[in-house]
Structures are given as C-alpha cells and as structure tokens.
Structure 1
Amino acid sequence: MGDVMLDVDLSGEATRLSPDAPVPVVDVSAIRRRAGGAGLVARMLAQDGWPVTLVTVLGDDDAGNQLRTHLAGVRVVAGTSSYSSPVKTRIRAGSHPVVRFDQGCEKTPVPDVTPAMLRAVEKAAVVIVADYGRGLAANPQLRDLLARLAAEVPVIWDPHPSGPDPVPGVAVVTPNISEATKAAQAAAANVPASAEAVSQVLLERWRSQAVLVTKGEEGAVLLRQGDSSPSAVPAPRVEAGDPCGAGDRLAASLAVHLLAGRDLPEAAALAVHDAADFLAAGGVSALPDTDAEDTPAGKPRTSPAPGRRTTEPLLLARSVRESGGKVVATGGCFDLIHAGHIRSLAAARELGDCLIVCLNSDDSVRRLKGPQRPIIGQHDRAELLLAMECVDAVMIFDEDTPEAALDRLRPDIWVKGGDYKGSRLPEADLVESWGGRCLTVPFHPARSTTGLADALAKVS
C-alpha cells in the first residue's frame, strides 16, 4: 500500500551543448512510462509471479488513466483523489540522469480510504508500506489497522521525509542513509551522520522491531530490538549509473523472503543482493514494458513469470490456491537424482497445478542417512530439482520429518512413492486435518540413490 506516481523516462544521447546556454542537448530516442512509487513495488512483485494487491488512491485525470494501464497484471484496490496525479519526468543521456521535472507532486491532504481498501490490507500475508509523502500512510484508519496487523504479519515500512512516522511494532523500517539522518537529527540533537548512530536513534523513536538503513553501494546496517549494536549487511560491487528503484526492489524482496519464513538478518542480506542485482541488470530502464492486452488490469498473475523458477513455495502455494488450483507436494532427500525420482516427480505434477518438493536439509540427511551423506549439498540438490520442468518450487526443511514444513505449506495433495502402498502414510493425519489427501505414485524398483552411490564408488 502507498502512493503511486507516473514515471516518465526520456532517453537519448547527449553529444553537443546548446547554443543558448552551456547545457547538454539530449536527442530523445525513447519515451517510456511506468507506474512509480508503490506501483513500482507492486509491478516488480507481479512480474516475478507473486500474487500482489496494490492499495492506493488514483486521480481521475490523464496521468491517473495512464497509471491504470501501466498497472496491468496487478490487482488494484484504489480510492479516488480529487488532486492531480503526480508525474515525475526524468531526462537521461545514455544511462545517466540529467534532470528531473516534477508535476503535481506537492503535499496534499490525507486521503480518505474505502472499506474495500481496508479489507484488502487486512487479508494480506505481508504488507509493504511504500510512503512517497502523498498522505496515504497518514490515514488514521489505515494506521490503526496496520498497528494491529504488525503483531500478526510482517509489515515493511519504506518511509519518506514528508510522510508520517511508521506505526509502532512493524517488522522493519527501510530508510536510506539520507532519510535516516534527517529523521534522526529531527528527533535528537547532535546525532552523528552515520548509519550506526542514526539507526539507534530511529529504533527508539519509531518503536519498530528493526531498522535497516541502506547506504547504496556500501550495503546497509541492520539494528533489531535487543541488539547491542547494528550489524553490517554488505552489498556486492556493481556498476550502476542510476540507482532509481533500488529501494523499491529491496522492499519487495524483503517481503518475499520474510513471507518465505526466513529470519530478518537472512532476508535483509538477500534483499540487499537482490537490489544490487537489479541495478546491475539495468535498474528501472531494464524493466519490461507493460502489455495491457496480455494481462487485464486488476487480475493478478497466478503462476511464476515465464523463464523464472521460484524457490518461494509459500507464495506460490497461495497464488495457486487463490486461482482455484490444487497444490501438490512431495518430499525426500533427492541426494543423487535418478530416473525413478524423475518419473515419480512427473507423475506427482500431473495430480495438480503446481508441484512443491519438501527437501531434507544437509543436517537432516546426515541424521537420517549417516555422516557420509548427503553426497550433494542442499543448495545444489534444490537447483537440480528446480531445473526439472515438473518441479515448481523447493522448500528446504531442517527437521527429521516433513510435518512442520507441511503444516506451513498445507498442500491439497501430499504424494509419496508407491513403496508405501498398502500402508498409511505417516503424514496422513496431519494432511487430512486441513482437508488434504495423501496419494502414492508408482514406485520404480532397482533404481535407488544407495545403488547409484555404490556404483559410483566402484568406479571412483
């Protein structure tokens, strides 16, 4: 949820100076328009295949109508604004910004919210508040709702210097170093302009569970309640001419990783890397154009984007269920993948609309199989599984049995190999408790990881 604006990019080459003044002349070769602010966060998530709802207000003007077009693929629940839709126009020479023009970006009164907007926020499994200073984050009804939700679901708050403080209790607030310094120095005198110092001031002021202050190419610092000092979150070195959109990519990635069950330090480290990868790939200028004819506005995409294999199973399961599909899951060590595995996985995938593999972690395999196993590490095993067309996601679990993972995933169908035929599956009671079913697929004898490992040992 948050403020949306229309971003316009005028791009071209600057090879000469104007005869009227010592300023570059940009020969415009391309004009691109896209949804910015909270709209950019929502589009990033939708393009990655996640089911996302954007709660915002939209003006009834030409820019507002363009925004609706450029939000194709995102479910939008919007109130109306009587004010002009904000437009930010950037002039770029090559990959470098030259100047930006803002229209209709002045501060406006706090907008009203509709019951539909409140219901949409209340249903969310994770909330990103993308505040761009237009007042939506200051609405009292929304703030009361977010304060209640913060105890139940992750709330990520991306603040704005012109916006209100985050509501207490949110999972993490993500200011950049400039925003953080300004907010900290307004709260306390003589605060050193360092990420470590301002994060301590802001954590106390905002009463959030954590503050993640981003520092561009230097990464970020993370301070959580109870920590004695902030921890550094390094970023990989990338060549990037324009940092626009990096904060939005970071917030979107944090939401994905927290909803997948990762703890905040791991989620923050992954999100910082995701933001760096986003810039290295070209940033906002490399985002695909919106094709309104392919995906009608207001209808979320319910499967991962073409060419992208997701390892976020909880989001995938939710997406498939919301579209009326069936979630199929299976489990195992999959230490050395052989033909029997492939046939069983393909058969399991035919039973529903997605297949999620619950994969034993390395520690789990060692406890079950002995100190010589696994032969292949968990991340490589997951990558091999995801390379199969029939596998849509992998969920790594650390316990000896998959019950805890299943309880989070709650598949419609839990599948095991046919070697269980005639006996009740150990997970049957749990799966049936939410209305799921347990099924077996054909077992292929004479094909096993142990046999394959023995054969490899003879030739090594």
Structure 2
Amino acid sequence: MKIVIVGDTLLDEDIDGVAERFQPDAPVPVVDVQTRRSRAGGAGLVARMLQHDGHDVTLVTALSSDEPGERLRAHLDGIHLVAGLLPAPTPVKTRLRAAGQPVARIDDGCGDPVLPHITREMLGAIGEADAIIVSDYGRALTAHPEIRVALHRRGSRVPLVWDPHPRGADPVPSASLVTPNLSEAAKAAGTSADAASAAGAAARLRERWGCAAVVVTLGSEGALLLDADHAPALIPARPVDAADACGAGDRFAASALLALAAGDSLPDAVRSAVDAAGDFLSSGGVAALGATGLPRARTAGADAFAIAEQVRSSGGTVVATGGCFDLLHAGHVRTLAAARGLGDCLIVCLNSDESVRRLKGDERPLISEHDRVELLTALSCVDAVVVFAEDDPQAVLDRLRPDVWVKGGDYSAQALPEAALVESWGGRVLTLPYHLGRSTTALAEAIARVG
C-alpha cells in the first residue's frame, strides 16, 4: 500500500533545560539549556511516523532553499520526497521546556503564507496513492488549485483523511474523514470551544465541507465522530500522563487513515486512532520517535521488511516465526508472546491459502489468508505479517534475515530445514514448547461435533 502525505513541512526544534532561578530584573524564569534537538514537523512528522510503522510512504510538500530548508531535507532522509519550491522562508517552530514542562514557543518564518511552486511529479504522486493523509499547517500548499483538484479526484477513489488548520484551506468534499481538534472545530464553526458544543460544530463543518465524516478530537476526553449514517458518537480515551501533547493529533490522523485503508468502519478507525494517540503520548511522544520502544500502528498493511530494517538499523533484535495459524488459539498466542519477548519486533511468516492446502489438504485452511493476517496483526505482540506462497519459509527468510527464528514444537532446532540458512548470516534458531491441550486440529474437531 502506497501512502501519500500531502502538506506543509516545518522544522521543529526542542530546547530542554532546567529553571531554578528567575531573571534579576523581571519575573521571568532563567532556563539553563541541557539539550537541543531538531526534527521534521508538520507533514514531515506524519511521514516519519508512518515510515516508522513500516509503510511505503511518499511525502508531497514544498521546501525552501534556505539553511533551515537544507536541515529539513536532512531530517527527511530515507523518506520518498516529492517537493516543489517554497518561495518563502522555512517555517521554524522552537519549543522551550524546563524540566519537561513547556515554557515558550518561538516561531520564525511563519508570516503570511505564499503559494508554493507545484510540479508535475507532485500531482502524479497524488494520483498514484492508495491512501492519502493531508497534513495542513496553514502554509498554503493545500490552497493551491492544482493540488486541490488532484486531491479531490483521488480522494473519490481511495481513503483520504484531512487534518485541518485554522489558517488552512477547506478540506476537499471527497475527504473520508476530517480531524479538527476542539479549538479548530469551534473556530471554524463559530461555536464555543467546549466539549458540549462539539457535536454542533461537527454538524456545521460536515455540512459546509461536504465530506463523509468529521471527528472532533477532545484530548483526554477522546473524540466525537459524526457521519451521515449515525448519531454523534463519543469515543472515550484512557487517561494518559503526558506533559507535552505535541504530535498527538498527527498520530491520531495517521492511525485513522491506516485503519480506514485496512477496511475498518469509521467508528472502529476512530477507536484505533484514539488508542494510538494515547499510546504515542504514554511512550514519550515525539521525543521517542525512532526508538525501537515506540509503539507502531499495527495494521495488515505494515511492511514487515521495512520494520525489520528499521529495528536492525537502530541496534534492535529482529525475531521471526512462521506457520499456518489456522484457527488462532491460546497456544498460538502464548508462543507468539514468548517469541516477541526475545527481541524488539516480531514478524510472522504466514503460509498462504494455497500453501496450506498443499500441506494440510483441500479442507484447509479453515480461515482465509486475509482473515488470518488480520487476526495476527491485532495481537499486540505481532509487529507485522508477511505471507509466503512456498511450502517452506526459506525464501522469505532469506529476504527478511531475522536475528532469531522461532518455531513451536517438541523437536530439535537443528532438525529444522531452515536452520542452516538462518545460521548462515549469524542468526539463531530456537524452539518453544507446545502448550498441551491447545491445537488447531482438536479445535476443528470440536467445532465439527457442534455442527
């Protein structure tokens, strides 16, 4: 699945320190700087998040040719970038924090927006997207007529999630979901900025924009969804202790897109997005992005090979296991959880339907390949699934090259046909015991007796 992110890319800077005294001539805290960091913000942050999830992403944006613009390009290294020229300074947002608490934000190059130069490559990338997220930060890219035509045309065919901005353009009517926060929704709809008014704001905005659905994010209270088919629905959030909510809205919109692209209903997609935003903040937010411990948004479309490479390049351990996983049961889940505990990600190599039939007979599998992938990726211990059509996993293993290959069973690891292959690149082969009384065959026979 090719995900295209369209929007304004900013340079975000974080200055962290401690404040233990006040300025002598004014009641202003003095911050002793300890660290300085910078990263891609706006649409660039969304692209990095989705790449971290293991997805094939393309960032369609506009960049300046100034020094901050060059730094921004460096932060986008490894992301497929299709960029026009922004004839204005690079927007730089600097956040000053003391002991983890925000003190001030300094904006530079954030004056009146200027229409960027659009290229044929930018329009072509939008036209080839399998799913689109628009990350509007009010810098005029989404106001460009050619960009809007391309988004509306492609959005009528593929999922399109639009994350709006108070100074940005209206979403195109073909948007599947628009995701303003409460403040943005209230300002756009002319309502009061309280949760009780969220449903009214959503109704006004959905009618004005002509989009399929609007979800108003409510921070710690969750999100309120309104579409054409249902009454307003409040999806609550679990409590999260986070001093800095930066990036939570981006994580929400990106996760909603992943769920819609995987075929989830709107309520289920918003539920996933609320949970993902909470996980993102509780795991450190943008400060932890790129670390192996940051939760990924797990979907059936996650690229197993990209996830493995990212974990490996950051010094982590890639674990893989394989099998048919027909009629997923408690024994499978226990083995998968134990395998995940051996490293920093777990990739499941899954036999295709045809492969299962050759191995187990014409009556199998009992559950289709698509559903088996969905069930496995729903487990928190599974980071991605890759399907192989051969009778054994050696070809996919040779491409994946895990550090640890795990199989369940009561046989020797060295007896596995793939053992020599895994060891050829320095990998280890381990076996985990079966859990007695849990088997697909026994479960299938029990179901057959019930009829």
| TM-score normalised by length of structure 1 | 0.69
Q: Which residue of 34, 50, 55 corresponds with 1:50?
A: 55
Q: C-alpha distance in 1, partners of 2:135/2:378?
A: 36
CA deviation after TM superposition for structure 1 residue 17, in Å: 0.7
Q: Which residue of 402, 405, 413 corresponds with 2:389?
A: 413
Partner of 1:335: 329
CA deviation after TM superposition for structure 1 residue 259, in Å: 1.5
Q: C-alpha distance in 1, partners of 2:204/2:50?
A: 31
Runs of 4+ in 1 over 3 A off after TM superposition: 188-193, 305-311, 317-320, 328-331, 334-338, 356-359, 378-388, 414-417, 447-454
Partner of 1:273: 275
Partner of 1:285: 287
CA deviation after TM superposition for structure 1 residue 234, in Å: 0.5
Residues 1:39 and 1:310: Cα distance change in structure 2 (over 3 Å):
closer
SS in 2 for 1:314: coil
Q: C-alpha distance in 1, partners of 2:113/2:121?
A: 22
CA deviation after TM superposition for structure 1 residue 317, in Å: 7.6
Could you list the per-position Cα deviations for residues 416-442 of structure 1 after superposition, in whole angstroms to 9, with x for gaps in the alignment?
Answer: 99xxxxxxxxxxxxxxxxxxxxxxx99
SS in 2 for 1:41: helix
Partner of 2:179: 174
Partner of 1:194: 197
Q: Which residue of 202, 208, 212 corresponds with 1:209?
A: 212
CA deviation after TM superposition for structure 1 residue 20, in Å: 2.1
Residues 1:319 and 1:241: Cα distance change in structure 2 (over 3 Å):
closer
Could you list the per-position Cα deviations for residues 201-244 of structure 1 after superposition, in whole angstroms to 9, with x for gaps in the alignment?
Answer: 111011110001001111110001132x2100111101111111
Contact 1:184 1:191 in 2 (8 A): no
Task: Name the aligned partner's letter for residue 274 of structure 2.
Answer: V
Residues 1:117 and 1:60: Cα distance change in structure 2 (over 3 Å):
same
SS in 1 for 2:111: coil
CA deviation after TM superposition for structure 1 residue 281, in Å: 1.6
CA deviation after TM superposition for structure 1 residue 256, in Å: 1.4
Correspondence list, 1:108-123, <5 A: 108-123=113-128
Could you list the per-position Cα deviations for residues 253-284 of structure 1 after superposition, in whole angstroms to 9, with x for gaps in the alignment?
Answer: 11211112211110111111110111112222
Partner of 1:431: none
Task: Name the aligned partner's letter for residue 47 of structure 1.
Answer: H
Q: C-alpha distance in 1, partners of 2:284/2:378?
A: 28
Q: C-alpha distance in 2, partners of 1:386/1:105?
A: 40
Task: Name the aligned partner's letter for residue 56 of structure 2.
Answer: P
Partner of 2:65: 60
Q: C-alpha distance in 1, partners of 2:195/2:444?
A: 59
SS in 2 for 1:69: helix
Partner of 1:82: 87
Residues 1:451 and 1:251: Cα distance change in structure 2 (over 3 Å):
closer
Residues 1:259 and 1:393: Cα distance change in structure 2 (over 3 Å):
same
Partner of 1:393: 385
SS in 2 for 1:57: strand
Residues 1:203 and 1:415: Cα distance change in structure 2 (over 3 Å):
farther
Unaligned runs of 5+ in 2: 1-5, 308-321, 337-346, 354-362, 365-371, 394-416, 419-437, 446-451
SS in 1 for 2:56: coil
Correspondence list, 1:147-162, <5 A: 147-162=152-167
Task: Name the aligned partner's letter for residue 23 of structure 2.
Answer: S
CA deviation after TM superposition for structure 1 residue 287, in Å: 2.4
Q: Does 1:26 align with 2:31?
A: yes
Residues 1:74 and 1:354: Cα distance change in structure 2 (over 3 Å):
farther
Q: Which residue of 117, 136, 141 corresponds with 1:136?
A: 141
Q: C-alpha distance in 2, partners of 1:310/1:175?
A: 20
Contact 1:309 1:392 in 2 (8 A): no
Residues 1:21 and 1:357: Cα distance change in structure 2 (over 3 Å):
farther
Task: Name the aligned partner's letter for residue 238 of structure 2.
Answer: P
Task: Name the aligned partner's letter for residue 108 of structure 1.
Answer: P
Residues 1:223 and 1:308: Cα distance change in structure 2 (over 3 Å):
closer
Task: Name the aligned partner's letter for residue 223 of structure 1.
Answer: L
Residues 1:381 and 1:48: Cα distance change in structure 2 (over 3 Å):
closer
Q: C-alpha distance in 1, partners of 2:24/2:296?
A: 52
Task: Name the aligned partner's letter for residue 243 of structure 1.
Answer: A
Q: Does 1:126 align with 2:127?
A: no
Residues 1:270 and 1:383: Cα distance change in structure 2 (over 3 Å):
closer
Aligned positions, number: 358
Q: C-alpha distance in 2, partners of 1:283/1:392?
A: 22
Contact 1:236 1:276 in 2 (8 A): yes
Q: C-alpha distance in 2, partners of 1:384/1:148?
A: 32
SS in 1 for 2:147: helix
Could you list the per-position Cα deviations for residues 125-151 of structure 1 after superposition, in whole angstroms to 9, with x for gaps in the alignment?
Answer: 110100000000011111111111122
Q: C-alpha distance in 2, partners of 1:159/1:4?
A: 14
Task: Name the aligned partner's letter for residue 65 of structure 1.
Answer: E
Partner of 1:313: 300
Partner of 1:293: none
Residues 1:238 and 1:130: Cα distance change in structure 2 (over 3 Å):
same
Contact 1:158 1:175 in 2 (8 A): yes
CA deviation after TM superposition for structure 1 residue 95, in Å: 1.5
Q: C-alpha distance in 2, partners of 1:205/1:276?
A: 30
Could you list the per-position Cα deviations for residues 63-122 of structure 1 after superposition, in whole angstroms to 9, with x for gaps in the alignment?
Answer: 100001111221111011221101011100111110011010112222221111111111
Q: C-alpha distance in 2, partners of 1:279/1:307?
A: 10
Residues 1:54 and 1:161: Cα distance change in structure 2 (over 3 Å):
same
Contact 2:283 2:294 in 1 (8 A): no
Task: Name the aligned partner's letter for residue 326 of structure 2.
Answer: G
Partner of 1:249: 251
Identity of matched residues, %: 46
Q: C-alpha distance in 1, partners of 2:123/2:257?
A: 19
CA deviation after TM superposition for structure 1 residue 358, in Å: 7.2
Correspondence list, 1:296-445, <5 A: 311-316=298-303, 332-335=326-329, 337=331, 355-356=349-350, 382=376, 392-393=384-385, 413=389
SS in 2 for 1:213: strand
Contact 1:191 1:197 in 2 (8 A): no
Q: C-alpha distance in 2, partners of 1:60/1:22?
A: 40
Q: C-alpha distance in 2, partners of 1:182/1:284?
A: 27
SS in 2 for 1:101: strand
Q: C-alpha distance in 2, partners of 1:32/1:319?
A: 25
Task: Name the aligned partner's letter for residue 16 of structure 1.
Answer: R
